[in-house]
Amino acid sequence: MFDAVVIGAGIAGASAVKSLKNNGLNKILLMDRAQDLAQGASAHHHALCHPYIGRGASRLQRLTQLAFGAVPEVWGRYFEQTGVFHLAGPRFKEKKDLSEHLQTLGFDTGKTLAYGATEAYAEFGIEQTGTWFADGGYVNLQRAAQETLADLPNQDRLLGVEINAIRYVNKVWTIDLADGVTHRAKRVFICAGYGSSELLEGLKLAYPLKPVRGQLSYLRKKDGIQTCLPRVPLTSDFYYIPYQQEDQVQKFILGSTYDEHNQDLSPWPASHEANLEQFTKLLGPITGLEIEDAYVGIRCVAHDRMPVIGPVPNYPGLYVITALGSRAVMWTALAERLMSAHLKQELNQASFFAARFLLGDLAFAGFSDDLVSAFSPARFLAGVSNSKPTLPFSSQTR
């Protein structure tokens, strides 16, 4: 019997595998319907990462600050620390106002700095007020997921498989595959992006998840270097990443589009146009651009836009890591840390699988129950509280 079956070979599955291994749970069976590792949304090479700046100290903002702090430890090997310049909205035309706002939100003023438009132009090549996240950057999600998952023995990576049913029989999780083979495990991690929705429905768990198609445009400027192009990654409602400059050719990425309830993976000319339009609105028309490539992915987004991470109440040993939206780097770093702490406590309490998230040592790192309930799988289940542990249910099957 396996310690765990992990369904989904993307960055969420990789974070689950890491947290299991951190606890010595090495008998892991990975399953994916794709033929190779990290072929879904995690086939992304430039996933930006910086904390969210809200209007007030919202749960989202506090959580992204904590999650961002976990990124170096979890994904540091794949992290390109370029710094990220976040363009301020119309509320913050003056550096002074933005600076005060950042302080109110509790940002580290040594690493998160407000810039006025003139200074920003001199430093980064963009004439706009904004916040410089010196610790920001991007992660190659595909490499992070592939290298983490490739560590599992070949025979424990089942790729190109279809799952017929997930059942809980005699306190054991049973996964029936379409080819007639059945696998058993003490735990199941559902990390299947938007595909999680269907798997959870099969377990009579209705989660309000939706697919959101997004396209990035990889561009090259082929008529010489343009010195007025911004020199650092920019974010706001769109993003820009200069990722290569050699032999008189500048390359950068623009994105991204946001098409709800669409799962078409083919690149659309209209999406390239939309990406370019956003960019020229900011910088004016730019000559000599050529589209080199596109990345198209399907984000999984929950109705409240928060991730779904943790144990499912009343389903002992069932865990979910999904709904990562456009913050997979931070949410999977958070998931890895929290799941590691949770599994450690679970193992210390013999066979007890707590329904709520057990925070362990992380309780001292700023995580409180109100923050945990913001992403707990319990929040969508009627009548279930995240603050009360529930005993494992005793029925034979579910």
* Sole window of 278-286, 325-333, 340-348, 369-377 interacting with ligand FAD (rule: CB under 6 A): 325-333
- Asked if 83 touches ligand FAD (CB under 6 A), the answer is no
Show the binding pattern over residues 196-235: x = contacts ligand FAD (CB under 6 A), - = does not: --xx--------------x-x-------------------
The distance of closest approach from Cβ of residue 49 to ligand FAD in the complex, given in angstroms and rounded to an integer, is: 6
Instruction: Go through the chain and tell me how many residues it has.
Output: 398
* Sole window of 25-33, 124-132, 263-271, 285-293 interacting with ligand FAD (rule: CB under 6 A): 25-33
Size of the site for ligand FAD (CB under 6 A): 40
The distance of closest approach from Cβ of residue 216 to ligand FAD in the complex, given in angstroms and rounded to an integer, is: 5
What's the rounded Cα separation, in Å, for the pair 221 and 250? Answer: 5
Distance of CA 122 to the CA centre of its chain: 33
- Asked if 326 touches ligand FAD (CB under 6 A), the answer is yes
Near ligand FAD by CB under 6 A: residue from 26, 39, 236, 314: 39
What's the rounded Cα separation, in Å, for the pair 301 and 193? Answer: 9
Q: Is the Cβ of residue 116 or residue 310 nearer to ligand FAD in the bound state?
A: 310
Q: Which of 242, 253, 320, 244 is nearest to 293 (CA)?
A: 253
* Sole window of 69-77, 94-102, 294-302, 308-316 interacting with ligand FAD (rule: CB under 6 A): 294-302
The letter for the amino acid at 256 is: S
Q: Is the Cβ of residue 17 or residue 48 nearer to ligand FAD in the bound state?
A: 48
* Sole window of 61-69, 104-112, 119-127, 321-329 interacting with ligand FAD (rule: CB under 6 A): 321-329
Show the binding pattern over residues 117-136: x = contacts ligand FAD (CB under 6 A), - = does not: --------------------
Q: Which of 328, 311, 394 is nearest to 4 (CA)?
A: 311
Structure tokens at 36: 């190779």
Near ligand FAD by CB under 6 A: residue from 66, 113, 192, 338: 192
The letter for the amino acid at 190 is: I
Give the contacts of 92 (CB within 8 A, at least 6 positions apart).
98, 101, 114, 129
Q: Is the Cβ of residue 15 or residue 99 nearer to ligand FAD in the bound state?
A: 15
What's the rounded Cα separation, in Å, for the pair 9 and 63? Answer: 25
What's the rounded Cα separation, in Å, for the pair 103 and 109? Answer: 7
The distance of closest approach from Cβ of residue 321 to ligand FAD in the complex, given in angstroms and rounded to an integer, is: 7
Structure tokens at 96: 């002074």
Reported as type and span, the H/E element at residue 63 is: helix 59-75
Q: What is the residue whose two structure tokens read 């379409």?
A: 178
* Sole window of 26-34, 165-173, 225-233, 379-387 interacting with ligand FAD (rule: CB under 6 A): 26-34
Near ligand FAD by CB under 6 A: residue from 22, 26, 34, 167: 34
Q: Is the Cβ of residue 186 or residue 299 nearer to ligand FAD in the bound state?
A: 299
Do residues 311 and 377 make contact, with C-beta atoms less than 8 angstroms apart? Answer: yes
Q: Which of 267, 161, 146, 149 is nearest to 218 (CA)?
A: 267
- Asked if 31 touches ligand FAD (CB under 6 A), the answer is yes
Q: Is the Cβ of residue 19 or residue 256 nearer to ligand FAD in the bound state?
A: 256
The three-point CA angle 12-10-209 to 5° equals: 60
CA atoms within 13 A of residue 64's CA, in its CB half-sphere: 22
Q: Is the Cβ of residue 47 or residue 205 nearer to ligand FAD in the bound state?
A: 47
CA atoms within 13 A of residue 97's CA, in its CB half-sphere: 9
The letter for the amino acid at 289 is: L
Footprint of ligand FAD on this chain (CB under 6 A)?
7-13, 31-34, 39-42, 44, 47-49, 141, 163, 191-193, 195, 198-199, 214, 216, 255-256, 297, 299-300, 322, 324, 326-329
